[in-house]
């Protein structure tokens, strides 16, 4: 692959994706290990499931999650089309992934069926930059996500700014999800077409 100014738009996009996802992984791992010591090891020592909701249509969530949870089954639900297919994600990650992508409304119960038709029960639900202030069905999404978490499972939500932090906290309180004190990301990502992730909200079931 070329470097610097010699990069093609496609190569530059892949580089941006990989940089963003490695930053996400670093922040995620640091926070979870600090707040829930041993939790990552416990998840990796059993048959686990990870669910990502509304990830901008790129499906790139799965790259750092697969690295951190190599034995987990990965599920993705997004109401829009996926900008990257499973095959394209696997090309970027340079390996086969145990993932199942589903175009569906994450605010509806019927959207939470896996590839065998069974209800998804996740150990971790990740929702990145939901933009709750723009409207949408986020109240039902949060209720469904919480309802499909296993006991001791973790809901991990990132937001981009103070306005979205306020709206997201209010929404989670409305659906009676008790979050920990919001964490300000000490090294928020540069604002790109992906995510800046200034705050992280966490709740454990």
Which residues lie below 8 Å from residue 98, measured CB to CB, with a gap of 6+?
Answer: 66, 72, 73, 74
Rounded distance between C-alpha atoms, residue 140 and residue 132, angstroms: 12
> When comparing pLDDT for 10 and 200, which is higher?
200
- 159 within 8 A of 165, measured Cβ to Cβ: yes
Identify which has the larger pLDDT, 38 or 64: 38
Cβ-based neighbour number of residue 131 at 10 Å: 17
pLDDT exceeds 50 at position 151: yes
| Integer Cα distance of 94 and 12 in angstroms | 17
Indicate if the alpha-carbon torsion angle 104, 109, 112, 117 is positive or negative: negative
Question: Three-state DSSP class for 204?
Answer: strand
End-to-end CA distance of the chain: 44
Per DSSP, the residues of 85-151 read -HHHHHHHHTS---EEEEES-TTSGGG-B-TTSPBP-EEEEEEE---GGG-SSHHHHHHHHHHTEEE
More confident residue, 37 or 96: 37
Q: Answer with the residue of higher pLDDT: 147 or 130.
A: 147
> For the domain with range 4-204, which CATH number is right: 3.40.1190.20, 3.40.50.150, 3.40.50.10470, 3.10.20.600?
3.40.50.150
pTM for this entry:
0.84
**Rounded mean pLDDT of the chain?**
81
| Residue recorded with tokens 């686990």 | 48
pLDDT tens digit sequence for 41-75: 999 999 899 998 876 545 556 677 878 888 898 88
Are the CB atoms for 151 and 125 separated by under 8 Å?
no
Could you tell me if 133 and 163 are in contact, meaning their C-beta atoms sit under 8 angstroms apart?
yes
In the structure encoding, which two tokens stand for residue 124, read together? 């971790």
SS3 167: helix
- For residue range 164-201, what is the model confidence (pLDDT) as tens digits? 899 999 999 999 999 999 999 877 665 544 566 889 99
Q: List the domain boundaries for the chain.
A: 4-204
């Amino acid at each position: 692959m070329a470097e610097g100014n010699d990069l093609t738009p496609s190569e530059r996009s892949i580089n941006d994706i990989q940089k963003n996802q490695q930053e996400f992984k670093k922040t995620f791992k640091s926070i979870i290990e600090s707040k829930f010591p041993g939790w990552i090891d416990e998840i990796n020592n059993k048959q686990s499931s990870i669910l990502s909701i509304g990830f901008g249509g790129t499906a790139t969530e799965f790259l750092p999650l697969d690295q951190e949870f190599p034995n987990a089954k990965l599920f993705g639900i997004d109401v829009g089309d996926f900008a990257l297919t499973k095959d394209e994600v696997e090309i970027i990650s340079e390996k086969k992934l145990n993932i199942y992508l589903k175009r569906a409304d994450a605010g509806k119960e019927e959207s939470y069926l896996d590839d065998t038709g069974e209800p998804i029960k996740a150990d971790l639900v990740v929702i990145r930059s939901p933009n709750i202030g723009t409207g949408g069905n986020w109240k039902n999404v949060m209720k469904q996500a919480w309802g499909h978490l296993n006991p001791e499972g973790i809901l991990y939500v990132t937001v981009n700014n103070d306005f979205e932090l306020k709206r997201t906290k209010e929404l989670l309180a409305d659906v009676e999800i008790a979050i920990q004190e919001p964490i300000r990301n000490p090294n928020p990502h540069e604002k790109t077409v992906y995510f800046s992730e200034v705050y992280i909200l966490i709740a454990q079931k």
